[in-house]
Each structure stands twice: as structure tokens, then as C-alpha cells.
Structure 1
Amino acid sequence: MRWCISIPQLDTGSFDASGVKAYLARAEDLGFEGGWTLEQAIGPTPLIAPLEMLAYAAACTERLRLGVGVLVSSLHDPLQLAASITAVDRLSHGRLDVGVAPGGGFRRFAAFGVDPETFVGRFTEGLALMKAAWSQESPVRFEGRFRQVEDLPLEPKPVQRPHPPIWFGANAPRALARAVRLGDAFLGAGSATTAAFADQVTTIRAELDRQGHDPTGFTLAKRVYLTVDDDPGRARERVVAGLRRIYGRMPGIEDVPVSGTPDDVVRGLQEVADAGAEMILLNPLGADVAEDREQMERLVADVLPHVT
């Protein structure tokens, strides 16, 4: 099993630079494969923006891969987003993984000037334009429904060629088929249950076969919100409070986390692994960096050695 850890993004009054630096250094020392952020462009939770957080993390780390899961790229200008992604890839010397998704019907598309009737088309075309910006030699040419580009100089290019790995977030069968067609990996949402993830894995594996893709070249992963505590009731209270900070009263959100004693969390993570996850992104939900650091240490010491 490959393990990644979330990077604390909460900024409740002032940014804890020393705490985040120490957290990232310790994540590298503990052997985590990567550190990941999430995007919440609109919401009440004071989160540092994901790519900017990864640029900061790039300066604090040497080995840790850096990921964002996921950017709702239909809400971004594709050329500006491509330039920002390139910057983080270059600042990290090619350690970036990029998660993307078109978003769903509850997104406030109007706030970003996006027509909700065309957001999926804009998403797929925007991704194609970003790939062209990254992979074509300048000047870049692109002809699409929403964007036409002719002889556009776009420099620099990402370190990773032809571009950083593209991870998809998706749920519906058509979206999962799109993930296989256009992406390099799949990251199951933290807001989805393990049972839902298992169904997604089944669909993706069928699509990999149908589309003629080598399944060994397409990683299946899941973000897992979790809290470990010797007191199961206290663990549950802490993890639900963390979920409320991010998702508010979203229906069903209390069904997704893994929490409890070390043995409870081992069982929960083993279920995710058995459902098909090849990488698990551990996402503690502490109220500050210190709480997330305590959870990271506890997970490595008491939980991860027992998950196969």
C-alpha cells in the first residue's frame, strides 16, 4: 500500500509557517509518498488555496510528491491554470500530481461566469487546451468550441513531460469512463463512502478493459477522512467536527469518515484497501497543524503497520 498525507490548509487567524514546515519535514521523515491539498474556491472554511499551498510546500520539501485533489477546473481559465500548474511543477522540480474534475450541479457556476449548461464541455475542452499548452512546442495552436488559440507563445513548460500526471475525481459512470479516457489515475473523494468507492473501482476496471488500457498504469486511490483516539466517542466527535468545517450540513457526510481506536481505524482502512485502493490519502481533520501532526504520528505508529 502507498500512503499519502494531507497538508494542513486551515488559516484561523494567522498562518502557522513553522508548524507547517515541521509537519512537512516530518511527513518526509516518516516515508509518506506524497502530501496533498484540496480546493474549496467558495466556502466558509478559511483554507489556503491549494496550488499556492503546494508552492510553499515545494520550498519546504525535497522528496515528497505534491498533489491537489481535486481542482474543479471548469471554474478556472485553462491557460491561467496551466501556467499556475507549470509553476508548481517547476518549483518542485517535477514532483506535482494534478487532480481535476468538472464539478457538479451544486457548484456556484454563475459566480465564475460559467454556464451550468456547458460546464462539462468546457471542462473537457479546457483540459485539452492545458495539455496542448504543456506539451506543444511554442507557439501553441488550438481550435475548440469555446477557445481558439493561434501562434501563442507559452513558456516555460513543465518539468514532467508531456505534463504532470492527471488524476480524476468522478462519480457517475460516464464521468468514470471519461477519467479512464483522459486521465492517468483516479482519486476517490473523501466525501464518498468506502462502499461507493468499491462500486467506482468496479466501473473503472471495466472501462480500462473496454478501452484497452493497461490497468497497471492507472492508479486507483481514495482520500479518507479519519481520526484515531483511544476513546471512540471522542474520535467520532472530532472527525465529525472537522467534516462540518469543510462540508457544513451536507447530507450523508457523517457516513464517510473512519474513526475510533487504532484497531477501529485499521479495520476501516483495510476495507478501503480491499475495495481496490492502491494508494490511500490520509486526511486528519484537526483544528490546527498541531492536531494534524499528532494524528500523523499516531497513524504511523499504531495503524499503518497493520494494514496490508
Structure 2
Amino acid sequence: MKKGLKWGVFSLSQYPDQSFRVEGLESDMKLFELAEALGYDTAWVAEHLFSTYGIVTSTQVIAAAVAQRIKRMRIGTAVVVVPFNHPLRTAADFALVDCLSRGRLNFGIGRAYQPHEFVGLGVPMDQSREMFDEGVELILRAWGEGKITFDGTYWKVPEPIDVLPKPVQLPHPPIYQASISTESFANAAKHGWSVQLAAPFTYRTYREEWIPRLGDELRRYEKALVEHGHDPAKLERMILLPFYCDTDGARARETMRGPVEWFYEKVASHQQTSAGGVVRGYETTMIEGRKAREMGYLAFDKLIEHGACIAGDPQECIDRLKRLKEELGITEFVLWSNMGGMPPVRAENSIRLAWEQVAPFV
């Protein structure tokens, strides 16, 4: 295995059959425990609301649970949706997670993209970027200072208050920004944050050009990091990939086909507003995502062709991952094998085979 390259596993806790939800959550924990025993570096979790797209409604709850089941791996959030909670609650909860895990938290943040979640919470989706910026500023102040006050547009702290506990990691846990748009890469560069990349979403936006377009964004990101006085070598480029490995490549693709098609159908339906319009701040992803669906780019065979989903035998997986590593400078591959109701034993077999016969050769 190449020095410095990290490997993670991801779960969105997707159970199309909700009668399986209790067993499913336990299977997620067992997947993370297996990954730790094998040698993976990070367990990544996410949050979503009001849909079988993902039933983890709180990354702080699931991260705290994971912290008690694994003892070595880091625990990453992909992502904490900043506009959905009071920033002081977010700061306090994740400082607590960092304490419970003895300093193993990777704090991945984003602003969400599914209209029905904003509607359900009564949060203005067209103001999500402004809420994100203000919320993160308040979180970082809560972690890094003693008593604080804050006079923002969305949140106010009129009387001095000390947010406890403080994180174990100083000055704070590593921050990753979920990045698709040019604006998100620019913001991450300004602050000196690592980036979270996700093949499913970048591909929906740029289709067959997703890898070169992502490469362009990353080159601009690195240049901007230097201009803002940050060292790119100290930051991470993590990428999330739908991934399935089997000794038989054709069988791997047939195993992954149903779960991937279920996932993309959910994504396509959940990024539409009830009126069918486009929300300010989401123009590119909404318009291009709709085009990708209408043009047939979300068909499983297209996803495989353009590398947005990796499913194959070990050598096929190695070849795909090597290309991404070389063209994008990836520092951590995060493998997602249990999407869309994939049977737990198959997801476990995939990450085991990937660790033994893929990771050492990438």
C-alpha cells in the first residue's frame, strides 16, 4: 500500500425495507468494526431527513455510537448540515463526540441539497450558503474561544457564553468542506480546509467530463490555498465512491446494478422542488442534474463507463482507482459498498476483498 494514501468506508444507512432498520443499523456498526479489524483508516457517516434515502437524522448521534464500537479508526461526517441546527448546539455536540472518541473526529460540513428537507424544517434553502458561512464562523469561535457573543443575521448570542466541552483536537478537529461548485472550493481554500469530493454528485453535474472538470477545480483550489497562506500538502482530498469488488467482474456489476439505480432514482427525485423550479445557489447542480437524468447518464452502464461507480474484479478496481489518484491527487478513497439495501454480507465481502487485493496496489 502506498505511504500516505488513506482508505475509508461509508454508510448512508439506506434501507428501502424499513422493517430492517434496527438490524440495518447494527449491520452498519459491524461493517465499521470489520473495516477497523482489516486496517481501514476512517468510518464516514452522513445525515438525511424524511426519507429512506438515509435514516440517520443526526451525525452527532451516529458518530457517538460509532465511537463506542471502534477504537482506532477516525470518525468522519459527510456531512454535518450546518443550516439545520443552531451552531452552538453543533459545536457542543461535536466537541463531545471528539471527547468520546479521544480526538478521532473529522468534521465534514455542507449546506444540504434536498428541497424537501428544507421545507420540512422551515429553513430557507435559497439562503443556505449564507447560513452555512455564518454558522461555521460561530462554531469555530465556540471551539476556539472562551466566553463569546455573536451578532449575526441568522443567529445571535447576546450575552457572553462559554460553550463546553472544548474539542480534544486543537485548535479544532480537521475540517472538510463538501465541494462541487467553484464557490465551495474557493471557500475551502480561503479557510484552509480539506475537501470532500463525491463521485455521484460531481458526475451528475458534469457527466462524462466530471474527472477533468474536478481536476480543474482542484488546481484552482490548490493555487488559492497558497495565495491564502495555506500548505496544500497538509490537507486532504477525500473522494466518496460507489464501489463493489468481486472476484468475478461481471457478477460485481450485476450485484451493484440494483442498489445504484435505486440510489440515483432517489437523488433525482429528491433534488426537485415541489413546483419544479430551481433554487438560488443550486442552479448548476439542479439544472445539470436534471439534464443528466433526461439524457440517460444516470443509467448504470453509463455510470460504470465514466467511472462514477466502480464495480468489477480487483484489477478493474485497481485501474479505476489509480486513474483517479493520478488525475485528482486523491489522498483518501472512501468506499461505499452497502448502498441501496445491499445485503450486509455482500458489502462486507467487498470491503474485505478491496483491502486484500486492491488497496495494496493503488
2:181 matched to 1:155? no
Residue ranges of structure 2 left out of the alignment (5+ in a row): 204-209, 269-292
The one-character-per-residue Cα deviations of 1:116-166 (angstroms, maximum 9, x if unpaired) are 3322111100011111111111x3212222222121232111111222111
Deviation at 1:273, TM superposition (A): 0.7
Instruction: Select the residue among 338, 348, 353 that pairs with 1:285.
Output: 338
Q: Give the distance between the partners of 2:214 and 2:109, measured in 1 at CA.
A: 17
Instruction: Select the residue among 229, 236, 241 that pairs with 1:224.
Output: 241
Instruction: Select the residue among 57, 63, 78 that pairs with 1:54.
Output: 63
Quick one: structure 1 residues 115 and 21, their matched pair in 2 at CA, closer, same or farther if it must change by over 3 Å?
closer
Percent sequence identity is 24
Q: Give the distance between the partners of 2:180 and 2:54, measured in 1 at CA.
A: 27
Matched AA of 2:89: Q
Q: Give the distance between the partners of 1:32 and 1:89, measured in 2 at CA.
A: 19
8 A Cα contact 2:13 2:24, kept in partner: no
Give the 3-state SS of the residue equivalent to 1:203 in structure 2: helix
Q: How many residues align?
A: 306
Quick one: structure 1 residues 82 and 289, their matched pair in 2 at CA, closer, same or farther if it must change by over 3 Å?
farther
Quick one: structure 1 residues 98 and 107, their matched pair in 2 at CA, closer, same or farther if it must change by over 3 Å?
farther
Q: Give the distance between the partners of 2:81 and 2:141, measured in 1 at CA.
A: 19
Deviation at 1:227, TM superposition (A): 0.8
Quick one: structure 1 residues 110 and 277, their matched pair in 2 at CA, closer, same or farther if it must change by over 3 Å?
same
| TM superposition score normalised by structure 1 | 0.90
The one-character-per-residue Cα deviations of 1:253-289 (angstroms, maximum 9, x if unpaired) are 4421111111111111111111210111111135233
Instruction: Provide the residue aligned with 1:9 in structure 2.
Output: 13
| TM superposition score normalised by structure 2 | 0.77
Instruction: Provide the residue aligned with 1:205 in structure 2.
Output: 222
The one-character-per-residue Cα deviations of 1:29-64 (angstroms, maximum 9, x if unpaired) are 222111111222243235334332221111112111
2:310 matched to 1:258? yes
Aligned ranges 1:1-308 → 2 under 5 Å:
1-7=5-11, 9-10=13-14, 12-15=20-23, 19-49=27-57, 50-104=59-113, 106=115, 108-137=117-146, 139-149=147-157, 150-191=159-200, 192-193=202-203, 195=211, 196-248=213-265, 250=268, 251=293, 252-253=297-298, 254=300, 255=303, 256-274=308-326, 275-285=328-338, 287-307=342-362
Quick one: structure 1 residues 44 and 247, their matched pair in 2 at CA, closer, same or farther if it must change by over 3 Å?
farther
Residue ranges of structure 1 left out of the alignment (5+ in a row): none
Quick one: structure 1 residues 207 and 43, their matched pair in 2 at CA, closer, same or farther if it must change by over 3 Å?
farther
Deviation at 1:226, TM superposition (A): 0.7
Q: Give the distance between the partners of 2:91 and 2:145, measured in 1 at CA.
A: 13
Deviation at 1:95, TM superposition (A): 0.4
Give the 3-state SS of the residue equivalent to 1:14 in structure 2: helix
Quick one: structure 1 residues 221 and 131, their matched pair in 2 at CA, closer, same or farther if it must change by over 3 Å?
same
Which protein has greater RCO, CA pairs closer than 8 Å, 6+ apart? 2
Q: Give the distance between the partners of 2:154 and 2:33, measured in 1 at CA.
A: 43
The one-character-per-residue Cα deviations of 1:52-80 (angstroms, maximum 9, x if unpaired) are 22211111121110001122222222222
Q: Give the distance between the partners of 1:86 and 1:289, measured in 2 at CA.
A: 31
Q: Give the distance between the partners of 2:185 and 2:359, measured in 1 at CA.
A: 29
Quick one: structure 1 residues 269 and 204, their matched pair in 2 at CA, closer, same or farther if it must change by over 3 Å?
same
Detail structure 1 runs of 4+ shifted over 6 Å in the superposition: none
